[in-house]
Amino acid sequence: MTNTEQATTAQTGTEPSVEEALYGSLDGLREWVAAPVALPGERVYERAMPWNLAVPVHPAAVVLASSATDVAAVMRFAAARGFRVAVQATGHGAVGIGADTILVLTSGLSGCVVDVVERTARVGAGVIWQQVIDAAVPQGLAPPCGSAPGVGVVGYLTGGGIGPLVRTVGLSSDHVRAFELVTGAGEVLWVTPHEHADLFWGVRGAKAMLGIVTSIEFELLPITEFYGGALYFDAADTAAVLHGWRQWCGDLPETVNTSIALQQLPPLPGIPEPLAGKYTVALRYTALGDPAEAERLLQPMRELATPVMDTVGVLPFAAIGMVHADPVDPMPTNEDQALLHELTAGAVDAILTAAGPTSGSPQTIVELRLLGGAFAREPDHRSAFCHRDAAYSLSVIGVLAPPVADSVPAHAAALVADVAQWSTGGQMPNFAPSSDPDRAARCYGPDTLHWLAALAKLYDPAGILA
């Protein structure tokens, strides 16, 4: 029995609770790990709060790692004391964490080095995409980032990465060259297509299932500008625009990327007046190549209805985040997702019935994203990422705030069920994170899941990774 357990029994005459017993077994963690450690009730512990405020994250302890050595030490401590280990950078894809888990925060791993000659970047696990954009763009280069520059690089890339140029440049994780990984056994490995090739396959798509990535090296793209932005339409034009978008998508070349979102943005500072507190439709658009051709390809959508706001034009790559204009501040959200093998008129009608302007939908955003193009092609080095055959993704995002908080999750699940006949049954690792034990089977095919389980047994034999 630990000192804490003995003190609890002496004071109360009862055996300690599970939480007290787990907490007691943390004795010596500060001596074991060189990095700062915070326990519940201590000020730094609050940094465990994820970006998604709806996710319950209450670990036994928080470790502010600044090196792979710190992470390896946590792994060995956890194995010796019966804990699990989870990792978090920004917490955008957070899942619930309880008192049986030590949380490693990687924000201290903040290195970001751009190699202009090799056209690569090597970044630490605490780096967000905006830092890479700031370092690469002045060199005439662009990272394979997502739509939100405030998201962490490593979490995004280990989940695959569906960026705003995905049809043109492919899955973001296909551009990864190497990474430093701490396994559940506490080993620090440098992983490439030629060293630990099994892990190079698995980690690109498996998130933190096989280890904690502490740094990552990836290719930068010779992109300086793009033609794009967003067209915003009034609620009255929703049906015409959504059905028109479906028909228009069928003939687009892979130089063009697009998504469309039915959105109900709150009247908050920073949200433009034509959109704040109103139901609108946002057509997102990016294209590489000749701007005149990109403008011509977009023209049919401009002719469907008169936009209430038009931000489309030739933009520097540094403005890539404005295309989707994803929220920056932490908030409590619920996410659900489906992958579609086709988008028929019936599927569009089902979405309009559930989330159109007269539906009473509580969702903040219901987005359809066109896939295909370079996304659908296998890269030179295959990965654990599945579902490249999906034609569209459907994302449902609702803010869990009064008065709609209680209705958001059930409505989202019902909307996903409404499109089941057009769905592949799959999901992507970076969308709709949850602790649902069946989620892995939706993210990965049976063969991929089998091999990931085998790799997890090999590199995390004690089952340390949460």
- pLDDT score recorded for residue 19: 47
Residue 372 has pLDDT above 60, yes or no: yes
What is the number of other CB atoms lying within 10 angstroms of the CB of residue 349? 15
- pLDDT score recorded for residue 15: 53
Q: 198 and 377 in contact (C-beta within 8 Å)?
A: no
Long-range contacts of 13-22 (CB under 8 A, 24+ apart): 18/99, 19/99, 22/60, 22/82, 22/83, 22/99, 22/100
Distance between CA atoms of 193 and 459, rounded to whole angstroms?
A: 17
CATH architecture of 112-222: 2-Layer Sandwich (3.30)
Residue 2 has pLDDT above 50, yes or no: no
Provide the residue ranges of all domains of the chain, joining segments of one domain with +. 3-105, 112-222, 225-435
Q: 128 and 149 in contact (C-beta within 8 Å)?
A: yes
Q: 123 and 111 in contact (C-beta within 8 Å)?
A: yes
CATH architecture of 3-105: 2-Layer Sandwich (3.30)
In this prediction, residues 128-156 reach a mean pLDDT of: 97
Q: Which pLDDT band, with edges at 50, 70 and 90, does 25 fall under?
A: confident
- The helix (run of H) or strand (run of E) holding residue 296 is helix 291-304
Provide the 8-state DSSP code for 57: B
In this prediction, residues 186-201 reach a mean pLDDT of: 98
Q: What share of the chain is helix, strand, coil (3-state, %, to 5)?
A: 35, 25, 40
What is the number of other CB atoms lying within 10 angstroms of the CB of residue 250? 9
Instruction: Please measure the distance between the N-terminal and C-terminal CA atoms of the chain and give it in whole angstroms.
Output: 25
Distance between CA atoms of 19 and 160, rounded to whole angstroms?
A: 35
What is the number of other CB atoms lying within 10 angstroms of the CB of residue 177? 16
- pLDDT score recorded for residue 328: 87
The closest of 220, 186, 229 to 69, measured between CA atoms, is 186
Residues 387-406 pLDDT 10s: 999 999 999 999 999 999 99
- pLDDT score recorded for residue 51: 87
In this prediction, residues 147-165 reach a mean pLDDT of: 97
Residues 220-278 pLDDT 10s: 999 999 999 999 999 999 999 999 999 999 999 999 999 999 999 999 888 999 999 99
* Paired residues of 109 in beta bridges: none
The closest of 139, 156, 159, 285 to 222, measured between CA atoms, is 139
Distance of CA 420 to the CA centre of its chain: 23
pTM higher than the cut 0.85: yes
Residue 181 has pLDDT above 50, yes or no: yes
What is Dmax (Cα atoms) for the chain? 79
Distance between CA atoms of 224 and 143, rounded to whole angstroms?
A: 11
- pLDDT score recorded for residue 12: 37
Distance between CA atoms of 189 and 207, rounded to whole angstroms?
A: 16
Alpha-carbon separation of residue 434 from 212, 337, 427 (angstroms) = 19, 11, 12
Residues with Cβ within 8 Å of 171's Cβ and at least 6 positions away in sequence, in order, are: 160, 161, 162, 375, 379, 383, 385, 388
**How do beta strands 84-88 and 101-105 pair?**
parallel
- The CA-CA-CA angle for residues 343, 365, 256, to 5°, reads 50
Alpha-carbon separation of residue 220 from 126, 197, 431, 454 (angstroms) = 19, 22, 24, 32
In this prediction, residues 59-71 reach a mean pLDDT of: 97
- pLDDT score recorded for residue 116: 98
Query: Helix (H, G, I), strand (E, B), or coil: what is residue 399?
Result: strand
Alpha-carbon separation of residue 127 from 105, 152, 208, 404, 442 (angstroms) = 12, 6, 16, 34, 29
The closest of 381, 383, 379, 362 to 428, measured between CA atoms, is 383
CB burial of 131-159 (b: ≥16 within 10 Å; e: otherwise) equals bbbebbbeeebbbbbbbbbbbbbbbbbbb
Residues 204-221 pLDDT 10s: 999 999 999 999 999 999
Q: Which pLDDT band, with edges at 50, 70 and 90, does 24 fall under?
A: very low
Residues 48-64 pLDDT 10s: 999 899 999 999 999 99
Q: For 220-317, where are the E strands, in sequence order?
A: 225-234, 256-264, 279-287, 309-310, 313-316
In this prediction, residues 143-159 reach a mean pLDDT of: 97
- pLDDT score recorded for residue 434: 77
Residue 374 has pLDDT above 50, yes or no: yes
Q: Regarding predicted confidence, which is higher, 20 or 317?
A: 317
CATH class of 225-435: alpha beta
- Residue 24 structure tokens: 């007691």
Residue 11 has pLDDT above 90, yes or no: no
Torsion of CA 199, 203, 204, 207, to 10 degrees: 180
- Residue 452 structure tokens: 């990931």
- pLDDT score recorded for residue 263: 98
Q: Which pLDDT band, with edges at 50, 70 and 90, does 431 fall under?
A: confident
